[in-house]
Structure 1
Amino acid sequence: MSYASFTNLPASTESSARSVDAGRAVPARVGRNRLAVLLVLAAATEFLLVTVAAYSAAVLYHRVVLLSPPDAAKYIQESLLISALQLLVSMGLRQYSRIQTQTRHVFLWSGASAVFFVFAIFISTLFLLKVSEGYSRATIIAQAVSVLLTVLGTRAVWFSLLRSAIATGLIDARRIILIGDQGHCLKFSVRAMETGIRTIHSFDFPPVRTNASKPAPPSAVQARPDARQLVANCRPLRADDIVILPSEADVPSALALASALSDLPVDVHVLPVGSIDLMAVSRITPFGDMVTMRIFQCPLTPFNRAIKRAFDVAAAIAGLIMLSPLFVIVAVAIKLDSRGPVFFRQTRHGYNNEPIRVLKFRSMTVMEEGDNFKPVTRHDPRVTRLGRLMRHTNVDELPQLFNVLIGNMSLVGPRPHATAQNEVFAELISSFSRRHNVKPGITGWAQVNGYRGETDTLEKMQRRVEHDLYYIDNWSPLLDLKILVMTFFSRKVYWNAF
């Protein structure tokens, strides 16, 4: 059996395992000790700041709202209990130890979840012990908000510090061993390094021994790799993870190899060659009494759709009532500015690629659609004088509140394109039709980030689609609110508006 390493590290001694980055070499043990110290400091800092935040919120509420400062000792014990619960919950859920394998938003979200869990325990404790007298609901709310902001801020700072320390080589990154073809190992190592994961050694896939004396049915896995020497060579390296990269021929024996590597105190991963992008968007999920690898899922659950629809209806009704004077003024101005109807209906693709009729204030001297549609360009002579102002301020889109009310559009979502545009770009961009997995919106994530207007190049449309797919894959009520606020206050919304 041949073993190779593109890191030029001997496999025989622990001292040879080095973490190298930015020209610095840090011994593995030193790097791990520094990581442990950093995580302890992060937990201690969060404990102290949560205590201060909980106590300060209670005292400030009494001073500012009730105008009666409490005793100096009051709320100290409760604040310590809150911070202790926060620490215990975070440690119990291994939130600090997993910081190296999590993205920033996952780490922050886990902290927010811990805060909600902590205050659920805290309120239950006050109730069960009958010590809630004199502890107002407003005080608890003030403490919860203060602690939540403190935890999010503290974790954001420590996450940045950790990433910076890994990048400069101050602490050891998560250390992995790769097993497979050396070319595949090299590609995986380069990609892993981008996320702060360091490859300390790589080995060839061990040879397979079969037991010819005991024939088995074709469906049985007969391939058993000889992994004894491989396990012996991996043991002194003290890696955090071992990643098996089997080729198509090695897949049948990958499970047996993983079983042999379970003798080591590491996490063992299997990633078939060529499936890294596929696995990046997949989730292992139960399906009946089986387990499947789900690649894509419906963007919104029925519950999420109900929430989004309720908000759309309420906001559309409120918007139509408040903007009714503006509708009358714009309608009169359009009739005075040029000949033609006030409103313009155009066929576009909506949810599930179904055609819908989108309503707009007429801003052009022509009403093109279908195969005759031509996108508006800068200084387009077809745009009326009033139309140019309406398009720049997005007033021409306001009648789509009626589309929202009848249910074929949403306030927030990917902007619907003319059918002619859809047919062209659907052939050029493979994931283009995924935009229609949710209802189209009056405003969207692409628009508030400046990707609106003319799409005269494929790159412009690709960037717009990327933002639309980000919205679909990361939808939340808070994201919708953020986009609505940005629609009114972000200058990017008005870029390329003509």
Structure 2
Amino acid sequence: MAGWQIAMSYASFTNLPASTRSVGVGRTLPARVGKNRLAALLALAASTEFLLITVAAYFAAILYHRLILGQVLVSPDPAKYIQESLLIATLELLVSIALGQYSRILTQPRHMFLWSGASSVFLAFSFFLSTIFVLKISEEYSRATVIAQAVSVLLAVLGTRAIWFSLLQPAIAAGLIDARRIVLIGDQGHCLQFSVRAMGTGIRTIHSFDFPTVRTDASVPALPDAAQALLDARQLVANCRPLRADDIVILPSEADVPSALALASALSDLPVDVHVLPVGSIDLMAVSRITQFGDMVTMRIFQCPLDPFNRAIKRAFDVAAAIAGLIMVSPLFVIVALAIKLDSRGPVFFRQTRHGYNNEPIRVLKFRSMTVMEDGDNFSPVTRHDPRVTRLGRLLRQTNVDELPQLFNVLAGDMSLVGPRPHATAQNEVFVELISSFSRRHNVKPGITGWAQVNGYRGETDTLEKMQRRVEHDLYYIDNWSLLLDLKIILMTFFSRKVYWNAY
């Protein structure tokens, strides 16, 4: 944008040059000290990953031939796989750098950071196989060797990234490492609030400037609006330039929003990222994404948790795992069915109406563990030492065996292996009036197990706080779904003690 255009659009700003202050919570650091330290650590992390991938790929090939094939006396030359291992490590490094994966350790949750590592391994081996095919050296490479190397490299990448994530995130949160250095422009009270909130993620405020305000001093001669606007813009750019910040964040009030774009255009002369965050919208922006909508750009606040592709992946996994699970536990089904018939009168299975995907009613199948068959409005939650629970039923509930018939619900498409646990309809009708986001639990299919359950939030919900904590965990799962998270929850279901808390 030309200077006169900036001046004209910036004319809505008033005539008093902005005063400057340092935000109290943000310490002034030597330029680039924190940023260089973080860059060095990320480079060290990438180098460590490169080295471990090389070692893992090399020894996977050598050990496969010596231990699996038993070729101790006629094993391949140890130097044979050195070049291939270095090529694999180089390809993985280039993919990770090209996709900006190392820098995402600052913004991604752990499971997403690990998932990005797994995707880089997949791409690296795709390029590797293409390379050895083009160079016509694939005949010397067995498929089993490639598989062994891929598995070992994947474990090396996941292990390395998990360790670095555990080391860097606490250091950033404690202020030992500065991820980014920012300058704030806006009301000083709003700047202080933003600075405190940003500090926990390693973002340090090094200076703040007042948003230009209306001139009230009549003793100072006023310039024409356009000229004064251009002068203010140049002065603000000059004040920001020696600070060498990574980002500038404009925090306009409601009245200043129309002028924020012009101010951002003026600041584009600086080699920094310029952000605009209207005051009071930080929580709104935290859950929103800028997206293309037809020929327009909108701010999407919420989205459907799973797109069609991810729904297909999750469904395929559910069907395969449910079939495998039913085959493995079929002998247990027979034993439990006979035990229920011998323990108390009544049917083996119990069906109860619950809310499923999109609040649609579903019939959930369980092994009968009580002497009653309550459903609908007649339902009352199970309590500790509940006399309605049979002797065998208490054991079934404590071990979660009573939930196994829900594998049939998974095959039928009413449920998923992992998701928010479905509540009885009577419970839903009570809590939907008390917790505003309660119904959002039903934006995905309910699950046999879930993130809330493996974290100990199952069983009786006799207080509003208990249900709120359960809902918070369910919404976390919905907003952060991945296939790796599903696998993690399934493993925790088998091995975590928290799964059995409040099981009665």
Cα–Cα, structure 1 residues 457 and 326, in superposed 2: closer, same or farther, change >3 Å?
A: same
Aligned partners of 2:494 and 2:185: how far apart in 1?
A: 53
Deviations 1:286-341 (A, max 9, x none): 22222222222212222333333333334444444544444444344334433333
Cα–Cα, structure 1 residues 439 and 98, in superposed 2: closer, same or farther, change >3 Å?
A: closer
Q: Secondary structure at the match of 2:365?
A: strand
Alignment of 1:137-216 (within 5 A): 137-163=143-169, 165-166=171-172, 171-207=177-213
Aligned partners of 2:326 and 2:108: how far apart in 1?
A: 44
Q: TM-score, normalised by structure 1?
A: 0.87
Alignment of 1:283-322 (within 5 A): 283-322=289-328
Alignment of 1:458-477 (within 5 A): 458-477=464-483
Q: Secondary structure at the match of 2:79?
A: coil
Greater shift in the superposed pair: 148-157 or 429-438: 148-157
What displacement does 1:229 show?
1.4
Q: Supply the AA of the counterpart residue of 2:275.
A: H
What displacement does 1:133 show?
2.4
What displacement does 1:188 show?
0.7
- How many residue pairs get aligned? The number is 477
What displacement does 1:349 show?
0.9
Alignment of 1:38-437 (within 5 A): 38-66=41-69, 67=71, 68-97=74-103, 99-163=105-169, 165-166=171-172, 171-207=177-213, 226-437=232-443
- CA contact 2:359–2:439 (8 Å) conserved in 1: yes
Q: TM-score, normalised by structure 2?
A: 0.86
What displacement does 1:106 show?
4.4
Mark the runs of 5 or more structure 1 residues left unpaired by the alignment.
10-18, 215-222
Cα–Cα, structure 1 residues 114 and 387, in superposed 2: closer, same or farther, change >3 Å?
A: closer
What displacement does 1:139 show?
1.9
- CA contact 1:207–1:226 (8 Å) conserved in 2: no
Aligned partners of 1:38 and 1:314: how far apart in 2?
A: 42
Percentage of matched positions with identical amino acids: 84
What displacement does 1:466 show?
1.5
Aligned partners of 1:454 and 1:55: how far apart in 2?
A: 53
Q: Secondary structure at the match of 2:250?
A: strand
Deviations 1:167-226 (A, max 9, x none): 6665544100111111111111001001111101111112479x9999xxxxxxxx9994
Higher relative contact order, structure no. (Cα contacts within 8 Å, ≥ 6 residues apart): 2
Aligned partners of 1:403 and 1:379: how far apart in 2?
A: 29
- CA contact 2:18–2:213 (8 Å) conserved in 1: no
Q: 1:5 aligns with which of 13, 16, 21?
A: 21
Root-mean-square deviation over aligned CA pairs: 2.9
Mark the runs of 5 or more structure 2 residues left unpaired by the alignment.
1-16, 216-222
Cα–Cα, structure 1 residues 459 and 156, in superposed 2: closer, same or farther, change >3 Å?
A: same
Aligned partners of 2:392 and 2:86: how far apart in 1?
A: 63
Aligned partners of 1:329 and 1:99: how far apart in 2?
A: 49
Greater shift in the superposed pair: 171-180 or 396-405: 396-405
- CA contact 1:6–1:186 (8 Å) conserved in 2: no
- CA contact 2:185–2:248 (8 Å) conserved in 1: yes
Q: Supply the AA of the counterpart residue of 2:420.
A: P
- CA contact 1:89–1:114 (8 Å) conserved in 2: yes
Aligned partners of 1:279 and 1:192: how far apart in 2?
A: 14
Aligned partners of 1:390 and 1:432: how far apart in 2?
A: 29
